[in-house]
Amino acid sequence: MVVSTEDYYKEIEAVLEEVRQLFLSKNKNYNPGSDPLANFRRGGMIRHCDNDYYGAYEALKDYVTKHIVNAMSKDITAEDLAESTRDIAVYMIIATAMKRLQEKEHDARKEI
């Protein structure tokens, strides 16, 4: 297996754009109004967690686990592998944003 750095970076850029487009598309479904984390918060409440970032993150972990299990059960030649890996990437980006928002909220409370 030999791949040039240029070809590798082109593929990475293409994947990042695919993940961006997938996020934008799915966000329309996840965000029924003014709360972009509504589905995650509801999922957390179903798990008997608080209606906060902790609960939303617990629900997100459940959602991403389904895709991780699916991806891990396949090999590199599976037709739908890229779909699962893109979904995982979107969830991990949402998790990163969730963590940043939680930290900002925590810091704002400390200032009061």
Proportion of the chain above pLDDT 70, given as a percent: 96
- pLDDT score for 66: 93
pLDDT tens by residue, 77-103: 999 999 999 999 999 999 999 999 999
pLDDT tens digit string along 36-48? 888 888 889 998 8
Virtual torsion, Cα 63, 69, 75, 76, nearest 10 deg = 20
* Burial of 26 from C-beta contacts in 10 A (0-12 / 13-18 / 19+): middle
Predicted structure pTM score = 0.86
CA distances from 76 to 27, 31, 73, 88 (A): 28, 32, 10, 16
